[in-house]
Amino acid sequence: MTMPPVLHRVWRCFCTYEPVRHARWELVVMRFLFALLVWDTKTGWVAHLNDPPAILQAVLNNAQTSDIRYKSQPHPNGLAMWLDLTFLANDAIEKPLRVAVAASLVLYVLGVPTVLSLLVPMVFGIGTSTLSNSQGSIGHTSQVLHLTLLALWLAGVWGVGCRIRKKPLPNGWSAGEFEASWARQAIMAVYGVSALTKLVISGGDWLSSARYLPLHIMKSRDMKFYDNLDASVLRYDWLPQLMMDHALCSIIIFGLALPLELFAFVGLYNRRSAALLGIALILFHEVVTQLMSLSFIFNKALLLVFFVTPWWWLARLLGGRRQSESEVGIASP
């Protein structure tokens, strides 16, 4: 049975593998934005997105006043099950490491190989997050960010190995393109694992289980409100009951996220599929943000940086217009 022409074109458009190429200027943009995201884990500047002056102040000053106060790891998690990471809370170690992270990120943006420039940010970031997660509660806000950081560094190590063995990188990629590819794979792996976890925990019945998610919305809303008495989180207080009364709404809103995550790997095929999937996942995260006051800021930002890449599409659009104008000028008498 042959595929209809329209479906065949759609398939070729989004499911044909085309190695993603990045010009040097685009790699600089991606490195700069990624470095800012990593620096947020030390400064919290993202919390001031609506106040540009406060962003600059946070970026420049917060790292100097931040302090890790954990002196023990009573509930070891991850690497803390084998390593004592409390030394990272020692000011004599923590303060110099923060300075080293800042310097390393600047070098990363300037193009210093990731195997050197991302080593300190990766070790310090994963170490401090693991220490935080060893206090009795688990947070995963920056999980995807640190996984991407690890993937970029490992790609750099792999690239060095290829140079030593005098072997080219796959697809004729430059080091930056190869690292960006690994970053995309790491990000999509997060969504793939999330989908498989949903299936396992729900016993394969995630779609019908999604009807109970309004209860989680109510719980999340109430926690946010009683934490800081922010009345803005109650703006949709009528919605959970409406969704409970109309279970199909929950299945549509949350249930459809499962296939989106399960087939996230499609976003690795080419620029078009990457942009489409990135936009779809960002929209899903934004729906969850509005309903549950969960920001998923790192997920959204990483999808924007490594998948949607709006600057590339804008440059292509402007470049195409210039070319068309040039052709019109040449053809004019």
Provide the 8-state DSSP code for 167: -
For residue 274, pLDDT beyond 60: yes
Cα–Cα distance measured from residue 45 to residue 149, given in angstroms and rounded to the nearest whole number: 19
Please state which of the ranges 8-12, 70-74, 128-132, 303-307 shows the lowest mean pLDDT.
8-12
For residue 333, pLDDT beyond 60: no
- The count of other CB atoms within 10 Å of the CB of residue 152 is 26
Residue 190: inside a domain? yes
- The count of other CB atoms within 10 Å of the CB of residue 294 is 14
Better-scored residue on pLDDT, 38 or 12: 38
Alpha helices in the chain (DSSP H): 5-15, 24-43, 52-65, 91-109, 114-117, 119-132, 143-164, 175-201, 206-209, 213-228, 239-245, 247-250, 257-262, 271-292, 297-303, 310-331
Where residue 330 falls among pLDDT bands split at 50, 70, 90? very low
Q: Would you call 112 exposed, middle or buried from its count of C-beta atoms within 10 A (0-12, 13-18, 19+)? A: middle
Total domains in the chain come to: 1
Residue 76: inside a domain? no
Bin 138: left if φ > 0, else alpha if -120 < ψ < 50, else beta.
beta
Provide the 8-state DSSP code for 86: G
- Compute the CA torsion angle 285, 291, 294, 296 (nearest 10 deg): 10
Spatial contact of 31 and 311, defined as CB atoms under 8 Å apart: no
Predicted local confidence at residue 280, as pLDDT: 93
C-alpha closest to that of 129 among 189, 64, 73? 73
**In this prediction, what percent of the chain has a pLDDT beyond 90?**
56
Where residue 62 falls among pLDDT bands split at 50, 70, 90? confident
Predicted local confidence at residue 151, as pLDDT: 98
Report the amino acid identity of residue 76: P
For residue 100, pLDDT beyond 80: yes
Residue 319: inside a domain? no
Residue 30: inside a domain? yes
Please write the tens of the pLDDT for every residue from 282-325: 998 988 887 777 788 999 999 999 999 999 999 988 886 565 44
For residue 149, pLDDT beyond 50: yes
Predicted local confidence at residue 164, as pLDDT: 94
Supply the range of the domain harboring residue 42.
Answer: 20-70+85-201
Predicted local confidence at residue 292, as pLDDT: 72
Residue 183: inside a domain? yes
Predicted local confidence at residue 212, as pLDDT: 66
Residue appearing with tokens 């004592």? 84
Residue 53: inside a domain? yes
Q: Mean pLDDT score of the chain, rounded to an integer?
A: 86
Please state which of the ranges 87-101, 125-139, 214-228 shows the lowest mean pLDDT.
214-228
Residue 242: inside a domain? no
Q: What is the mean pLDDT of residues 11-29?
A: 93
Residue 309: inside a domain? no
Please write the tens of the pLDDT for every residue from 169-187: 999 999 999 999 999 999 9
For residue 213, pLDDT beyond 50: yes
Cα–Cα distance measured from residue 318 to residue 323, given in angstroms and rounded to the nearest whole number: 9
